[in-house]
Structure 1
Amino acid sequence: MSNKSRKIRSRGGKRGVQKGVIHIQASFNNTIITVTDVRGQVIIWSSAGACGFKGTRKSTPFAAQAAAENAIKASVDRGMKQAEVMMSGPGPGRDTALRAIRRSGIILSFIRDVTPMPYNGCRPPRKRRV
């Protein structure tokens, strides 16, 4: 098999998508926004740390808003018009990121909270005796 017959695919090409999924992962330390197509392949991502916030400022709602606006602007430039939102985590930036997405003009088909919740979970630590 020669090198000429082998097809080379680049992963960094610009993909134009009409519909996608916006994943918001809001932890206590950072907020990560990932935009994927409907098959789950990542188109663009952004986080509060990637937007230039450092330390405790990453965990603020304003940093989450900046990360969401950054990711949405890039995905709208690639042609996204409709999206679904999957939110996970208890962080302070989840509502602010959702507000920023709503203001962007993308039509949201549904918003789902996919935070993992234990049914019974691990055994709690023992009662403290003072």
Structure 2
Amino acid sequence: MKKYDTFQGVIYINSTFNNTISTLTDLKGNTISWTSSGVLGFKGPKKNTSLASQSISEKISFFAVNKNIRIVDVYVKGISIGKEILLRIINNCGIYIRSITDITPLPHNGCRKKKKEEYNEN
């Protein structure tokens, strides 16, 4: 098991309506570990619960501590219940969160509007 001499890393959290995926990388972007609620044994609608998010954050924090990573930047993407719980538990496991960035894509102009229909009264 490779221990990292730098104490810094990045955690990416992709939280959707169906699943939550968390990835731990080093500063260069190389994946160290990843986990999701499906990997931890949750199936169906239980994958998007707060308990699943809690389990994911404990597992990813355990990997970070074992790899000697103590300072992380967190990038959060998506809309779900589990985002806030993940951040709280990562912080409580002794990992210092340096920054939290929301990278959820937002539409800047939306979809094209429908063509306006013309009515002929003949």
TM-score by length of 1: 0.81
Q: CA RMSD in A?
A: 1.7
Greater Rg, structure 1 or structure 2?
2
Q: Pick from 69, 76, 80: which aligns with 1:87?
A: 76
Amino acid at match of 2:65: V
Match of 2:119 in 1: none
Count how many residue pairs are aligned between Structure 1 and Structure 2. 114
Gaps of 5+ in 2: 116-122
Gaps of 5+ in 1: 1-12
Alpha-carbon distance between aligned partners in 1 of 2:101 and 2:60, rounded to the nearest angstrom: 19
Query: Deviation per CA, 1:104-125, whole angstroms, max 9, x where unpaired?
Result: 1111111111111110132368
| C-alpha contact (below 8 Å) 1:35/1:44 kept by paired residues | yes
Q: Pick from 2, 27, 35: which aligns with 1:14?
A: 2
Q: 1:29 to 1:124 in 2, by over 3 A?
A: farther
**Quick check: 1:67 aligned with 2:59?**
no
Q: Pick from 32, 36, 44: which aligns with 1:43?
A: 32
Amino acid at match of 2:18: N
Q: Pick from 89, 96, 103: which aligns with 1:100?
A: 89
Q: Percent identity of the aligned residues?
A: 39
Match of 1:117 in 2: 106
Q: Pick from 65, 71, 81: which aligns with 1:76?
A: 65
